[in-house]
Amino acid sequence: MANRIGCVPTYIMCSMPASPADRPAGRNLSVLDRLIAPADQALRTLFGVSTTARPYPAEGIAETLAESAQRRQVAALMRVNHAGEVAAQALYQGQAFVASDPATADGLIEAGREEAEHLAWCSRRIDELGGRTSMLNPLWYAGSFAIGALAGLAGDRNSLGFVAETERQVVEHLEHHLQLLPQEDQRTRAIVRQMSADEARHGNNAVSAGAATLPSLARGFMRLTAKVMTRSAYWV
């Protein structure tokens, strides 16, 4: 159950950086100062325990996976999704770090809050199935932060375009996982369906905020890097 202070879940208060509007006025922060919040978030993502404001999507749904082979397969699929959420945290952090418009940074951080919920849901389901998360998560985080920062340096509209395209590809990936999951595994399917709905909304929000359409070469590179990560995370 999520800890709360008033109506605000503690993981939002403690694990997400302050928005630009909340930063001290009139103070020029050095690059090192500005790196403290992303570094803290990286440690919390990789080694902390996330809680969620929304209910666990699988709550109240009976467990139907009894065969060890099925449990291993589903745990591996959820390990891939967990690695993707680790990467999403880093992407949003990298983009927000270099965003020129405070409103854009705020939107990225807000989207990252829901991604933190997805991270917690995936982790919980993996634990239920007796699986483990990817040993390469630190690598996914570091690489994704760098990619997010590079996307952000291309300008806020291109950065939003990167979000929109990322989320479009993630929705495709999650819909594919729904086809791979056993039909009787309604617990995992409920989690993946909610994640897919959230990701689609994040992408639509980016488009509404003025996202630019990325060139086909950039979209192809994003798809290639995602394929490398998903195939590696399935096994390692």
**CA distances (Å), 43 to each of 110, 128, 190, in order?**
19, 24, 28
Cα–chain center distance at 214: 20
Spatial separation of the C-alpha atoms in residues 135 and 13, rounded to whole Å: 27
What is the per-residue pLDDT for 172?
A: 96
Please spell the DSSP secondary structure of 115-139, one letter per residue: HHHHHHHHHHHHHHTT----TTHHH
Q: Name the DSSP class of 30.
A: -
Which residue matches tokens 């440690």?
Answer: 43
What is the per-residue pLDDT for 16?
A: 43
Q: For the stretch 151-185, what's the b/e string if a residue is b when 16 or more beta carbons lie within 10 angstroms of its beta carbon?
A: bbebbbbbbbbbbbbbbbbbbebbeebeeebeeeb
Q: What does the pLDDT profile of the chain (236 residues) look like in tens digits?
A: 333 223 333 233 234 444 444 444 445 666 676 677 777 777 778 887 666 789 999 999 999 999 999 999 999 999 999 999 999 989 988 998 888 888 888 888 887 777 889 999 999 999 999 999 999 999 999 999 999 999 999 998 999 999 999 999 999 999 999 999 999 999 999 999 999 999 999 999 999 989 999 999 999 999 999 999 999 999 99
Q: For the stretch 124-144, what's the b/e string if a residue is b when 16 or more beta carbons lie within 10 angstroms of its beta carbon?
A: bbbebbebebbebbebbbebb
**CA distances (Å), 55 to each of 131, 136, 147, 219, in order?**
22, 28, 31, 34
Give the max Cα distance, the chain.
60
Task: Note the residue count of the chain.
Answer: 236
CATH code linked to domain 67-235: 1.20.1260.10
Tokens representing residue 45 in the block: 């993502």
Please spell the DSSP secondary structure of 37-64, one letter per residue: HHHHHHHHHHHS----SSPPTTTTPPP-
For the chain, domain boundaries: 67-235
Do residues 112 and 89 lie in contact, with contact meaning Cβ atoms separated by under 8 Å? Answer: yes
Spatial separation of the C-alpha atoms in residues 230 and 227, rounded to whole Å: 5
What is the per-residue pLDDT for 38?
A: 75
